[in-house]
């Protein structure tokens, strides 16, 4: 089982594990993603919903959000890393309402964190399917990620960490520069996600 391959000799087990992880993420967040409830947290209501909605208006109009004239005497918008204006995974979500945008982003990143953690456990730690599933579930349903779920930028940045560790492992054990370059792309995604401390 090579660490740079996601699927091993029995890919159907890995596909089933990923499907189970996605189903569990949807089940965990179904009231916000599929229903009409929203995440309740002071930062979500006072920071992330307004900023995501404002940035989405710019994206839908086809212009670059450089400045926010509604806060104080005006503040930079594009230069504020926490707005995650340039984060690629936020662009397709710009056509949703702010609550759905945030809820869908949380679902996507919980699934990404679970998938990357599963892959890391299978290929680097060489755990079996069940061990890798427990590893992935331990990460995504841990107290830390649960507490940060409303802080979309932190969750978005942290979701890439298992993939980053996986890429570094392959780059240094197999002496593959390509994987080091891919790791730099992942670090760039973490920065663009809007929480430098988690990058």
Domain assignment present for 149: yes
- Is residue 3 in a domain? no
Burial of 87 (0-12, 13-18, 19+ CB in 10 A): buried
Q: What is the pLDDT of residues 16-41, one digit of tens each?
A: 999 999 999 998 888 877 877 776 67
pLDDT in tens, 153-173: 888 999 999 999 999 999 999
Is 105 part of a structural domain of the chain? Answer: yes
In-domain check, residue 80? yes
Domain annotation covers residue 15: yes
In a domain, 2, yes or no: no
Segments forming the whole domain that contains residue 158: 11-198
- Taking 80 as the threshold, does the pLDDT of residue 134 lie above it? yes
Residue (of 137, 132, 176) closest to 21 by Cα position: 137
Write out the two tokens for 71.
Answer: 């806060």
Top pLDDT among 141 and 161 is at 161
Tokens of 46: 């006072």
> Within a domain: residue 190?
yes
Number of independent structural domains in the chain: 1
What is the per-residue pLDDT for 8? 54
Q: Which is nearest to 134 in space by CA: 125, 48, 71, 102? A: 125
Percent of the chain with pLDDT over 70: 93
Distance CA 84, CA 191 (A): 9
**Ramachandran angles phi, psi of 174, nearest 5°:** -100, 0
Q: Which band of pLDDT confidence, cut at 50, 70 and 90, is reported for residue 54? A: confident
Query: What is the pLDDT confidence band of residue 122, given thresholds at 50, 70 and 90?
Result: very high
Percentage of the chain beyond pLDDT 90 is 41
CB-based contacts of 93, cutoff 8 Å, min separation 6: 56, 101, 104, 105
CB atoms within 10 A of CB 40: 9
* CA separation for the pair 48, 72 (Å, rounded): 17
Query: Predicted confidence band at 124 (pLDDT cuts at 50, 70, 90)?
Result: very high
């Amino acid at each position: 089982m090579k660490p740079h391959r996601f699927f091993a000799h029995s890919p159907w087990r890995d596909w089933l594990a990923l499907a189970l992880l996605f189903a569990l993420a949807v089940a965990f967040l179904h009231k916000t993603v599929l229903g009409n409830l929203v995440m309740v947290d002071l930062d979500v209501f006072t920071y992330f919903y307004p900023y995501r909605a404002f940035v989405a208006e710019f994206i839908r109009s086809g212009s670059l959000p450089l400045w926010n004239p509604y806060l104080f005497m005006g503040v930079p918008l594009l230069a504020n890393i926490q707005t995650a204006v340039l984060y690629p995974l936020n662009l397709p979500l710009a056509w949703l309402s702010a609550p759905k945008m945030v809820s869908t982003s949380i679902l996507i990143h919980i699934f990404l964190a679970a998938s990357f953690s599963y892959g890391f456990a299978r290929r680097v730690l060489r755990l079996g399917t069940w061990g890798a599933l427990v590893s992935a579930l331990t990460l995504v349903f841990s107290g830390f990620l649960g507490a940060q779920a409303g802080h979309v930028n932190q969750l978005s940045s942290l979701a890439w960490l298992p993939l980053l560790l996986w890429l570094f492992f392959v780059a240094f054990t197999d002496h593959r520069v390509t994987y080091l370059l891919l790791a730099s792309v992942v670090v760039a995604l973490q920065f663009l996600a809007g929480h430098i401390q988690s990058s």
